[in-house]
């Protein structure tokens, strides 16, 4: 869905970094998964592989 958005905050020391992943086109969505303690965020098309 265009406009899907995930904001991440990474605290790995002094400066806390924030990142944002946004579904840029119609029909795409943002998915999140936690595997073995690693958070994975990807923008997915309806029929194809993850885009980023």
Please write the tens of the pLDDT for every residue from 5-49: 788 888 877 788 888 888 877 778 888 888 888 888 888 888 766
Dist CA 4 CA 23 (whole Å): 5
21 neighbors 33 (Cβ within 8 angstroms): no
Whether the predicted pLDDT of 50 surpasses 80? no
- The pLDDT value given to residue 9: 83
- The pLDDT value given to residue 47: 79
């Amino acid at each position: 869905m265009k406009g899907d958005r995930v904001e991440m905050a990474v605290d790995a020391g002094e400066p806390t970094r924030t990142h944002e992943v946004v579904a840029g086109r119609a029909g795409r969505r943002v998915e999140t998964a936690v595997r073995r303690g690693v958070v994975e965020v990807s923008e997915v098309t309806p029929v194809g592989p993850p885009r980023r």
